[in-house]
Chain A
Amino acid sequence: MLFQQVLNGLTNGSLYALMAVGVTMVYKSLGMLNFAHGDTMMVGTFITLTFIQMGVPFYLAVLFGTACAAVLGFLLERIILRKVKFSSFVNLLIATVGVSYVLRNTGMVIWGTSPQLFPSMFPETLIKIGNFNITPQSIGIILISLAIITGLHLFFTRVKVGKCMQLASSDAEGAAMMGVNVAYMRFLTFGISAGLAAVAGIMIAPLTYARVDMSATIGMKAFAAAILGGIGNLWGALLGGVILGIVEAVGAAYISTAYRDAFSFIILFIVLFVKPTGLLNKKIENKL
Chain B
Amino acid sequence: MRKCLAWGMAILSAITLIGCGSNASSATTGAAAGQSSSTTDNGASTPASGDAFTLGLICPLSGSSAVSGQILKNATEMAVNEINAAGGINGSIQIVLAEVDDEGVPATSVTAMQKLVEQDKVNVVIGSQASSCTLANMEITKAAKIPQITPASSNVAVTQAGNPYIYQMTATDELHMRNVMKYMAEENGAKTFAILYESSDFGTGGYKIAGNVCADYNLEMVANEVYNAGDTDFSVVLGKMQQANPDFFIFWGYHTEVAMICKQMQQYGISYPIIGQGYNSPELTNLGGAAVEGIMIDTAFDAANPDEKVQEFDKKYTELYGEGYDQNAPQSYDAVYVIKDAVERCIADGKDYKDGEVLNEYIGSTTWDGVTGVTTFDENGRMEKELLIITIENGEHKIVKN
A257/B12 in contact, CB under 8 A: no
B256/A113 in contact, CB under 8 A: no
B8/A260 in contact, CB under 8 A: no
B231/A112 in contact, CB under 8 A: no
Q: What are the residues of chain B within 8 A of A227 when measuring CB–CB?
A: 5, 8-9
Query: How many angstroms between the C-alpha atoms of A276 and B239 in the bound complex?
Result: 38
Query: How many angstroms between the C-alpha atoms of A124 and B266 in the bound complex?
Result: 10
Q: What are the residues of chain A within 8 A of B5 when measuring CB–CB?
A: 227, 231
Type the 1/0 row for B265-284, where 1 means its CB is closer than 8 Å to any CB of A.
00111000000000000010
A113/B27 in contact, CB under 8 A: yes
B7/A93 in contact, CB under 8 A: yes
B19 within 8 A of partner (CB):
yes
Q: What are the residues of chain B within 8 A of A5 when measuring CB–CB?
A: 236
Partner of A253 from the list B199, B227, B236 (CB cut-off 8 Å) is B236
* Complex interface residues of chain A between 74 and 99 (CB less than 8 A to chain B): 89-90, 93, 97
A260/B228 in contact, CB under 8 A: yes
Type the 1/0 row for A106-124, where 1 means its CB is closer than 8 Å to any CB of B.
0010001111010000001
Partner of A257 from the list B30, B237, B268 (CB cut-off 8 Å) is B237
Partner of A4 from the list B27, B29, B235 (CB cut-off 8 Å) is B235
Q: Which of A166-174, A176-184, A194-202, A212-220 lies at the interface with chain B?
A: A212-220
Give chain B's interface residue range (CB within 8 Å of chain A): 35 or more
* Complex interface residues of chain A between 118 and 155 (CB less than 8 A to chain B): 124, 126, 133, 135
> Which of A12, A35, A93, A217 is most buried by chain B, counting CB atoms within 10 A of its CB?
A217
How many pairs, one residue from A and one from B, have CB atoms within 8 Å of each other in the complex?
99
B37 within 8 A of partner (CB):
no
Please give the distance in Å from B95's CB to the nearest CB on chain A.
37
Type the 1/0 row for B218-233, where 1 means its CB is closer than 8 Å to any CB of A.
0000000111101111
A89/B235 in contact, CB under 8 A: no
Q: What are the residues of chain A within 8 A of B1 when measuring CB–CB?
A: 31, 284
Please give the distance in Å from A94's CB to the nearest CB on chain B.
8
A257/B267 in contact, CB under 8 A: no
A257/B231 in contact, CB under 8 A: yes
Query: How many angstroms between the C-alpha atoms of A214 and B269 in the bound complex?
Result: 28
Q: What are the residues of chain B within 8 A of A108 when measuring CB–CB?
A: 26, 30
A258 within 8 A of partner (CB):
yes
Q: What are the residues of chain A within 8 A of B23 when measuring CB–CB?
A: 213, 216
A207 within 8 A of partner (CB):
yes
A263 within 8 A of partner (CB):
no
Given the known interface contacts A113-B31, A260-B231, the answer about A216 and B19 at a Cβ–Cβ threshold of 8 Å is yes
Q: What are the residues of chain A within 8 A of B19 when measuring CB–CB?
A: 213, 216-217, 220
Type the 1/0 row for B1-29, where 1 means its CB is closer than 8 Å to any CB of A.
11011011101100110010001001101
B267/A126 in contact, CB under 8 A: yes
Interchain residue pairs with CB less than 8 A apart (16): A31-B4, A89-B7, A97-B11, A108-B30, A112-B30, A113-B29, A133-B235, A133-B268, A207-B233, A209-B287, A213-B23, A227-B5, A249-B236, A256-B226, A258-B228, A284-B1
Q: Which residues of A contact B (CB under 8 A)?
A: 1, 4-5, 8, 12, 31-33, 35, 89-90, 93, 97, 108, 112-115, 117, 124, 126, 133, 135, 207-209, 212-213, 216-217, 220, 223-224, 227, 231, 249, 252-253, 256-258, 260-261, 276, 284
| Interface pairs A-B: 3 shortest CB-CB | A113-B30, A216-B19, A208-B232
Q: A231-B5, A276-B2 are in contact. List 18 more A-B contacts (CB 8 A).
A: A5-B236, A8-B235, A32-B8, A33-B11, A89-B4, A90-B7, A97-B11, A212-B26, A213-B23, A213-B26, A223-B8, A223-B12, A257-B226, A258-B199, A258-B226, A258-B228, A260-B231, A261-B228
